[in-house]
Chains A and B, each alone.
Chain A
Amino acid sequence: MKIKKLLKRGNDFRPTFFAFPYVLICIIFVVLPLVLVLVYAFMDDGGGFTLTNFVEVFTKDNLLLLLKTLGIAALTTVLCLLIAYPTALILASKPFNRYVILALMFIIPMWMNFVLRIIALRSLLYMIGVDYGFAATIIGMVYDFLPFMLLPIYNVLMEMDKSYMEAATDLGANSFLTFFKVTLPLSLKGIISGITMVFMPVFSAYAITGMLGDTNTTIIGGKINGLFEMTSTWGVGSAMSFVLLILVFLTMLLGNVFSGKGDNKPLAKGGANE
């Protein structure tokens, strides 16, 4: 009887089972680490509950650091967008969109190790006499993150149905009006995806500030890393990571709200695929 039951269960095999090992991996290597960050953030040396770690996180110096990081991230994002959007727009426009290789040339450096690329930029900046500091840091950040902004915007613009632009022109809109009323709103999803791929990652890009910046350009990612290189400050480091985690969650929420607005399905897909 038992064997028969087992055999029957064997026949009950479903492909769904293939996802189960990964669920286990996620629990151990994704969920548990986040729980540990939470535990260390609220735990004192004796293992009891404490809020002192957070008191130490919200000092004047650290708030200033957070503000500075936000500033660097925002500036990097804006500059990337200002360079990437026109580039993507040109690459997706008429004579240029035939050459896929041209678009590829803009993202090839992405496949090269970024530390080596930043070292190269460092040599160039040294050669033309730009001192390491704030300006060099921003140049480095934009240099590193530009492809991540360019790629999603380029993809959205290439997939866009060009007849909307033609329709706008036919209906009497000039090229400026067509851009602001049709092209820009339809590419919002790519812009938001690009922003999320640049803004938050800058918080962790302390290697760039380390290579191109000075003592004034430290960012929060570098600070957290430093806290874990000493044994006595893991609690504060975890509390700071927890704050960053909340920030990630908030920006994700914000991104979802905005891309939800841009997700005008019947328009974007022509209603044909729905």
Chain B
Amino acid sequence: MNKKLSLILRWAFLIIVLVAIYLPIALIVVYSFSAEKNIGSENGFGEFTFSLYSQLFQNSQLMEATLNTLIIGVVSALLATFIGTFTAVGLYYMRKGKKTVNFISQITVVNAEIVTAVGFFLLSIFIRDVLSIPLNKGIGWLIVAHTVLTTPYVILSVGPRLNQLNPNLYEAGLDLGAGPMRSLFTVVMPQLISSMISGFALAFTLSLDDFVVTNLNKGTGGVNTISTFVYANLKRNLDPSIRALSTIIFVIVLAVLIVFNIVKNKKQKAAQVG
């Protein structure tokens, strides 16, 4: 009896926390089908409509911000995955100086984001005014910043996988007549692909979620990401179609995670059978 009560209490606790987590999101999803300007106004829900969704695609500024977010996210995550993987491989075979490089790469991970943002800001000033290299802050500069910001996470994702590999594989490739490059690309790298994918996913989500660095480094040219656009328009009138955008993003996140888990389960089952 006592055990049953404890089980019920534990379920209750989990459900309360889950409700608290999903209530705001559920509210936005439901109200994305209402044309009411404000949630919680006296008018209530009004009638069911898809008008916010068509309104979303007509809001050119918001669409541009979404496109910018995706471009910056994809390009910087690809660059971070490329640089991060090669660096992890290099660090794995490094004897001297490995600790120093690891320490420096961890600075961006542990540092307060606002200090990192200030650092990039001052660096852009330094490049423009001291080195006299014309630098227009905008998408390009944001891609650079996001790449630097997310590369350590790719290293953190690929590094442990390398440690699990048999250290003699690379040498075996050399013994069998492959050059160092070939041995790395055909023997070592293929085994890193799954950790590279999770590194890419991590870098991509971190880039999408970034606000502090982007806000200080987007320049005055009117380049915005979803985060900075929504934040900047908060004080004025925030387009209610933002609810439609939130719903779409939530559904995509959910779909990707479900597919990812199904694939993972299938792989595990296949591994168990094989």
Binding site for B on A (CB under 8 A): 13-23, 25-26, 28-34, 36-37, 40, 83, 86-87, 90-91, 93, 95-96, 100-102, 104-106, 108-109, 111-117, 119-121, 123-124, 126-127, 143, 146, 196, 200-201, 203-204, 206-207, 210-211, 220-221, 224-225, 228, 234, 237-238, 241, 244-245, 247-248, 252
Contact between chains at A123 and B27 (CB < 8 Å): yes
Nearest CB in chain B: distance from A102 CB, A: 7
Contact between chains at B123 and A29 (CB < 8 Å): yes
Interface 9-mer from B53-61, B81-89, B132-140, B191-199: B81-89
Contacts of B201-238 to chain A: CB distance below 8 A: 205, 208-209, 211-212, 215-216, 226-227, 230-231, 234, 238
- A-B pairs with lowest CB-CB distance, top 6: A19-B90, A33-B119, A127-B40, A18-B90, A120-B24, A22-B87
Residue of A17, A19, A28, A108 most packed against chain B (CB within 10 A): A19
Contact between chains at B227 and A207 (CB < 8 Å): yes
* Residue among A111, A121, A124 making CB contact with B205, cutoff 8 Å: A111
Contact between chains at A252 and B119 (CB < 8 Å): no
Chain B residues within an 8 Å CB radius of A40:
122
Query: Beyond A112-B25, A115-B230: 13 further Cβ-contacts under 8 Å?
Result: A15-B90, A87-B17, A112-B253, A113-B227, A114-B227, A116-B245, A117-B246, A123-B39, A123-B40, A207-B215, A210-B231, A224-B114, A248-B111
Contact between chains at A19 and B101 (CB < 8 Å): yes
* Residue among B14, B86, B112 making CB contact with A91, cutoff 8 Å: B14
Contact between chains at B226 and A146 (CB < 8 Å): no
- A25-B148, A87-B17, A225-B216 are known contacts. Are A248 and B110 too (CB-CB below 8 A)? yes
* Residue among B104, B112, B121 making CB contact with A245, cutoff 8 Å: B112
Secondary structure at the A interface, as helix, strand, loop or mixed, is: helix
Nearest CB in chain B: distance from A91 CB, A: 7
Contact between chains at B230 and A15 (CB < 8 Å): no
Chain B residues within an 8 Å CB radius of A221:
112-114, 212
Nearest CB in chain B: distance from A34 CB, A: 6
* Residue among A16, A33, A34, A225 making CB contact with B94, cutoff 8 Å: A16
Contact between chains at B90 and A244 (CB < 8 Å): no
Nearest CB in chain A: distance from B164 CB, A: 13
Chain B residues within an 8 Å CB radius of A14:
93, 180
Contact between chains at B231 and A211 (CB < 8 Å): yes
Chain B residue at minimum C-beta to C-beta distance from A12: B180
Contact between chains at A101 and B111 (CB < 8 Å): no
Contact between chains at A114 and B209 (CB < 8 Å): yes
Nearest CB in chain B: distance from A6 CB, A: 16
Instruction: Check if B91 is an interface residue, CB within 8 A of chain A.
Output: yes
Task: Give Cα A73–Cα B141 distance, bound, in whole angstroms.
Answer: 31
Chain B residues within an 8 Å CB radius of A33:
116, 118-120, 122-123
Chain B residue at minimum C-beta to C-beta distance from A95: B7
- A90-B10, A211-B234 are known contacts. Are A22 and B86 too (CB-CB below 8 A)? yes
Contact between chains at B105 and A26 (CB < 8 Å): yes
Instruction: Check if B144 is an interface residue, CB within 8 A of chain A.
Output: yes
